[in-house]
Structure 1
Amino acid sequence: MNGSAPDAVAGVPLVLRSRRAVLPDGVRPASVAVAADGTIAAVLPHDAPVPPGAELADLGEDALLPGLVDTHVHVNDPGRSEWEGFWTATRAAAAGGITTLLDMPLNSLPPTTTADHLAVKRDVARGKAHIDVGFWGGAIPGNVRELRPLHEAGVFGFKCFLSPSGVEEFPELDPAGLKDAMAEIASFDGLLIVHAEDPGHLAAAPQKGGPAYADFLASRPRDAENVAVERLVTLAAEHGTRVHVLHVSSDGVLPLLAEARREGVRVTAETCPHFLTLTAEEVPDGATEFKCCPPIREKENQDALWAALADGTLDCVVSDHSPCTADLKTPDFGTAWGGISSLQLGLPAVWTEARRRGHGLADVARWMSEAPARLAGVTGKGAIAPGNDADFAVLAPEETFTVDPARLHHRNQVTAYAGKTLHGVVRSAWLRGERIADHGKPVQRSGRLIERKAD
């Protein structure tokens, strides 16, 4: 057992007990003692005596997971707060078992491309966060000199696009700009996270527009991802830059990632719940709630993504929560805003498919908590272990529910999961030992703004 000496638990105010605690060494019965400062004091045997004066939260057969860490969230606040905001996004996250998120640098006004803009974002988020919130910086044309100040101000890394982002204030990097950004970020051993679609392949693809999903899928071909990632890993090897590939949807990317790692390139990659649980074959024409870029692809492609998660080629699963107002989801796939809202639903969506494919709760916790925290450098999160923050998601794995958009807490209740029956009901979420959500309802705001740990 870990940290089970009597002095490790003397005076703790809270113990959580579960028959299925998801721990770094596997799933087993355990009691988790929470210290007064909100960290985990000890992981004890399930039947360990409760210290005098401590509250016992006996979860029975409900699973105790580490709180999820979602490193890919577009909060859009300030500037486009009618799309989403820190109050609503973090409430939805808490209801879904997410206890930490990192906000993307675009779709807000101003974008997080200077240290001054970061300060504006923090001022808006402070006082609204139900969960812990950190920030990515942005790498855009002309801001290379801003990257080191942003790094020193505590962003977790820098996002760039290789093709148009969809908003004019966050342009893509051309090849020369990408090289300059990679060289600068490598100079302080920062992290570059990349939306990797090649603009030439996108421009060459047929762009019909209209309601047919097949036409939209043809407009975002797999080769656009494959070529972009191939170039990216070549540059990463040249400059020694740490690179993370965002929202992988194409199975053609997978052998490129595997080969780059074998050659020692410092590259990691993620995928998203919608790529793992939804398929092109099921998207109705005109149903632009399913639109995202890169797109949801065919079932055969999805099978390859699951295999890549299983063998470690893909590191983690994060939401890419990218909401908008309902009116921007027009029935035309060519003009509708691209983005899927899934903060509150990611855990049950992934668990539903994972269990069907023979994966366990430990796998889901690794993909959705431990790996994102490790890759982004979010310290004190991602595992139920002594010294970490007492952040937990409590899940009833066998229970099911049908997704009702009216019960979602993000600002605009549009979701590609409407009407789907999912396994895994999130009973509660805990942040530093305080219950922040209970049976799908946020109950307490305890979030803090977090920064990358100083070098």
Structure 2
Amino acid sequence: MSEVQLILRSTRVITPEGMRPAAVAVSGEKIAAVLPYDAGSPAGARLEDFGDDALLPGLVDTHVHVNDPGRAAWEGFSSATRAAAAGGVTTLIDMPLNSVPPTTTVDHLDLKRNAARGRSHVDVGFWGGAVPGNTKDLRRLHDAGAFGFKCFLLHSGVDEFPPLSPPELAEAMGEIASFDGLLIVHAEDPHLIESAPQQAGPRYADFLASRPREAENTAIEGLIALARRLHARVHVLHLSSSGALPMIAAAKREGVRLTVETCPHFLTLTAEEVPDGATEFKCCPPIREAANQDALWQGLADGTIDCIVSDHSPCTPDLKRFDTGDFAQAWGGISSLQLGLPAVWTEARARGRSLEDVVRWMSTVPAELAGLSGKGAIEAGRDADFAVLAPEDTFTVDPASLHHRNQVTAYAGRTLHGVLRSSWLRGRRIADHGTTTEPTGRLLERQRSA
């Protein structure tokens, strides 16, 4: 074992083998070993003893809209990554849209990296975008280190990131499959959305009716068929409709190269509790009923759903249209980057799930999805990225305490289990009881095969 500078000790360390008392030895930026709890500290090594607070691998959030450059008033790399660090997220991957320009060419990727460089408190990677007319740019983005490619099947909400038509989707998926890249998809069928009742106003029931679950189900059915035909790797973003679970499970059993995520808000919030006019709850696809939520949790338990990521999609308060409470006009997006871990843990523990489950869904599997072999687990050779959590402690969400650029959250006033004590990035403490240090995050690229 190489020279150890730091020992992190806890009675509850979440390792790939389960939770146990352990001492984690850190050498430089890496985990050198996971030792017995009562192992002595090497000479010169600093000991951090967390008692009964749980030591988790740092979370990996592969679905974050930072919006910088171009819409930094919505969110920026400094504020987003500070919030991530304060919430136990030590690695995030930024979505290609809502920034101006979107990440659809290598030049645009360079602009995005320049916006993040020196301002990121956690490690940051970047998705590319697949839009009409940029098929020729996809391999170049892949070679430049983009982690994969996002596309929409209907209007994205911003004009500079248009959706793919069915022929364009097949073209993009075929091109991405040719170099074994990953296509990640906002899966809602545009025709079913257009034919649904579109009633403006403050009633949440009207908004929910405008985004029927059949739109998700039909879009996912089409993706499965296309992925099967092209032998492509496809990832379904922010699954909201439990109605798609049987076909997803069948496709996986068949060997279709399909993965699926869901989000904290779909697992912790329900349509029945959304007040009319409360547009902080608007997202697309929408928060659905309690029975649907129960089925999503079952999908996580049986492995049909692979992981949980935030889909942190903020905006300025005026775009939420609090003046009118009109769900049809309000920006769709939930801000939860800092709150995802306690929100999910609160509901998970109530349903009898373990911290080990939460770590698998929010750290290990997202790291695997992105191909980040150095992240996602507490074991020798991985990056020394950690989150220290007091699982039984509670707090009440105060929007003013959040590091998000705009303190708008659907979790305001909620009491959550799981207080984040500190976060560590490559052996260095980057957040301590909500206070963050200077930015030391690195810009990540997709790891190339040997």
TM-score (norm 2): 0.99
Match in the other structure for 1:252: 243
Match in the other structure for 1:428: 422
Give the distance between the partners of 2:434 and 2:393, measured in 1 at CA. Answer: 14
RMSD: 0.5
Give the distance between the partners of 1:162 and 1:245, measured in 2 at CA. Answer: 12
* 2:370 is the counterpart of 1:376: yes
Among 355, 358, 363, the alignment partner of 2:352 is 358
Match in the other structure for 1:419: 413
Partner SS for 1:416: coil
Is the 2:261–2:306 contact (alpha carbons within 8 Å) kept by the matching residues of 1? yes
Partner SS for 1:197: coil
* 2:303 is the counterpart of 1:322: no
Match in the other structure for 2:437: 443
- The one-letter amino acid of 1:370's match is T
Partner SS for 1:93: helix
Deviations 1:59-117 (A, max 9, x none): 00000000000000000000000000000000000000000000000000010000010
Is the 1:435–1:444 contact (alpha carbons within 8 Å) kept by the matching residues of 2? no
Among 407, 411, 419, the alignment partner of 2:401 is 407
Deviation of 1:218 after TM superposition, in Å, equals 0.1
* 2:202 is the counterpart of 1:211: yes
* 2:232 is the counterpart of 1:241: yes
Deviations 1:167-220 (A, max 9, x none): 000000000000000100000000000000000000000000100000000000
Is the 2:13–2:54 contact (alpha carbons within 8 Å) kept by the matching residues of 1? yes
Is the 2:118–2:440 contact (alpha carbons within 8 Å) kept by the matching residues of 1? no
Partner SS for 2:10: strand
Match in the other structure for 1:261: 252
Match in the other structure for 1:173: 164
Give the distance between the partners of 2:21 and 2:362, measured in 1 at CA. Answer: 21
- The one-letter amino acid of 1:268's match is T
Deviations 1:28-70 (A, max 9, x none): 000000002x000000000000000010000000000000000
Give the distance between the partners of 1:376 and 1:312, measured in 2 at CA. Answer: 18
Match in the other structure for 1:139: 130
Task: Tell me the number of residue pairs that the alignment of Structure 1 and Structure 2 aligns.
Answer: 446
Match in the other structure for 1:44: 35
Q: Which moved more, 1:376-385 or 1:151-160?
A: 376-385
Deviations 1:348-397 (A, max 9, x none): 00000000000001000000000000011122000001000000000000
Match in the other structure for 1:194: 185
Among 13, 16, 20, the alignment partner of 2:12 is 20
Deviations 1:277-335 (A, max 9, x none): 00000000000000000000000000000000000000000000000000111110000
Give the distance between the partners of 2:149 and 2:221, measured in 1 at CA. Answer: 20
Deviation of 1:446 after TM superposition, in Å, equals 1.6
Deviation of 1:443 after TM superposition, in Å, equals 2.1
Give the distance between the partners of 2:276 and 2:411, measured in 1 at CA. Answer: 16
Q: Which moved more, 1:220-229 or 1:373-382?
A: 373-382
Match in the other structure for 1:288: 279
Partner SS for 1:312: coil
- The one-letter amino acid of 2:377's match is A
Match in the other structure for 1:5: none
Give the distance between the partners of 1:146 and 1:195, measured in 2 at CA. Answer: 20
- The one-letter amino acid of 1:28's match is R
Give the distance between the partners of 1:45 and 1:32, measured in 2 at CA. Answer: 9
* 2:60 is the counterpart of 1:69: yes
Give the distance between the partners of 2:284 and 2:118, measured in 1 at CA. Answer: 32
Give the distance between the partners of 2:120 and 2:306, measured in 1 at CA. Answer: 27
Deviation of 1:420 after TM superposition, in Å, equals 0.1
* 2:148 is the counterpart of 1:157: yes
Give the distance between the partners of 1:88 and 1:262, measured in 2 at CA. Answer: 41
Give the distance between the partners of 1:162 and 1:138, measured in 2 at CA. Answer: 13
Is the 1:437–1:444 contact (alpha carbons within 8 Å) kept by the matching residues of 2? no
Match in the other structure for 1:56: 47
* 2:263 is the counterpart of 1:272: yes
Is the 1:341–1:415 contact (alpha carbons within 8 Å) kept by the matching residues of 2? yes
Give the distance between the partners of 2:75 and 2:63, measured in 1 at CA. Answer: 14
Partner SS for 2:400: helix
What does 1:380-395 correspond to in 2, within 5 Å?
380-395=374-389
What does 1:96-135 correspond to in 2, within 5 Å?
96-135=87-126
Query: Which 5+ residue runs of structure 2 have no aligned equivalent?
Result: none
Give the distance between the partners of 2:357 and 2:373, measured in 1 at CA. Answer: 20
Partner SS for 1:252: helix
Deviation of 1:442 after TM superposition, in Å, equals 1.0
